[in-house]
Amino acid sequence: MQNVEKISAVILVKNAEATISECLESLRTFGEVVLLDNGSTDATVDIAAKYPNVKIFHEPNFCGFGKMKNIALGHAANDWILSIDSDEVLMPEIVDRINALQLNNNTVVALSRLNYYGDRCMKCCGWYPDYVWRIFNRRYTRFNENMVHEGVETMPSTEKIFIKDALKHYTADNIESIIRKMNVYSTLAAQEKFEKGKKTSKFAAVFKALHTFNRDYFFRKGIFYGYKGLVLSVLNASTTFFKYMKLYELNKNGQKK
């Protein structure tokens, strides 16, 4: 049996009709694909239902990305998991790489993402090589329960494998789409910090935002990617600023959102 036949690909999805078909096409050789829908109102579920290896489940109440992905793991038939997002595509040659792996129970595989802004792959501003832990045995590990920027937990005993340029990621189409993500992620990150009792100040928000811009534009090569590099640097800095200002406002109001 090839590795991909004993791996369940797991996807958390909401209103992804623009990308879900290409994502699922790249997973046709996998034993099963578990799709956990979080209340899509477009054609996402109808498109997914056309694929014979896809099993569709529904969870309308969003409880944070980490918890949602762990819920999805519970629906998988296999212990080996490939976690993939609905706007990601597994590169064709990577299937052979996965099949060639020696998968021990403590193996966790990091896949590198090629992040696209429109039609350009952005190897700047922290967007490359962007390794993310994606293949693992759910009896050995799982996702942490972060509201945002969730990740697979690794341990000292983890056998780590890295595969470069494994995923094509349709990160953003335009400035508006990045701003939408920025608003959602900064809100979730602020809420998570607030619930952990974190504090901040207006000065800290400004300082961290300026640091983020200088780092991404000058030291992470945004300056070499034209207007898109500038946009990413500014919006990364804005995400940082609003994350801490939202936390400041939560602390000031003393209430959860």
Mean pLDDT rounded to a whole number for the chain: 96
Q: Considering the chain, what percentage of its residues have pLDDT values greater than 70?
A: 99
Q: What is the pLDDT of residue 1?
A: 80
Give me the mean pLDDT over the 177-200 stretch.
96
- Domain identity same for 72 and 118: yes
Instruction: Single out the residue in 172, 205, 223 at which a domain terminates.
Output: 172
- Domain identity same for 152 and 64: yes
- Domain identity same for 47 and 135: yes
- Domain identity same for 153 and 237: no
- Domain range holding 194? 175-253
Give me the mean pLDDT over the 103-125 stretch.
98
- Place 255 in a pLDDT band, splitting at 50, 70 and 90: low
Q: What is the pLDDT of residue 169?
A: 98
**256 pLDDT more than 60:** no
**72 pLDDT more than 70:** yes
- Domain identity same for 114 and 231: no
Of 65-69, 81-85, 145-149, 243-247, least confident by mean pLDDT is: 145-149
Q: Considering the chain, what percentage of its residues have pLDDT values greater than 90?
A: 97
Total number of domains in the chain: 2
Task: State the DSSP string of the chain.
Answer: --GGGGEEEEEEESS-TTTHHHHHHTTTTSSEEEEEES---SSHHHHHTTSTTEEEEE--S---HHHHHHHHHTT-SSSEEEE--TTEEE-HHHHHHHHT----TTEEEEEEEEEEETTEE---TT-SS-EEEEEEETTT--B---SSS--B---TT-EEEEEEEEEEEEEESSHHHHHHHHHHHHHHHHHHHHHTT----HHHHHHHHHHHHHIIIIISSGGGSHHHHHHHHHHHHHHHHHHHHHHHHHHHHT---
- Domain identity same for 118 and 196: no
Instruction: Single out the residue in 146, 172, 198 at which a domain terminates.
Output: 172
**6 pLDDT more than 70:** yes
pTM: 0.92
- Domain identity same for 168 and 216: no
- Domain identity same for 16 and 111: yes
Q: Give the β-pairing of 88-90 and 159-172.
A: antiparallel
Amino acid letter for position 229: G
- Domain identity same for 142 and 182: no
CATH number, domain with residue 103: 3.90.550.10
- Domain identity same for 80 and 119: yes
Q: What is the pLDDT of residue 132?
A: 98
**257 pLDDT more than 50:** no
Task: State the DSSP string of 180-192.
Answer: HHHHHHHHHHHHH
- Domain identity same for 157 and 122: yes
Q: What is the pLDDT of residue 254?
A: 81
Give me the mean pLDDT over the 19-38 stretch.
97
Instruction: Single out the residue in 172, 191, 222 at which a domain terminates.
Output: 172
- Domain identity same for 66 and 95: yes
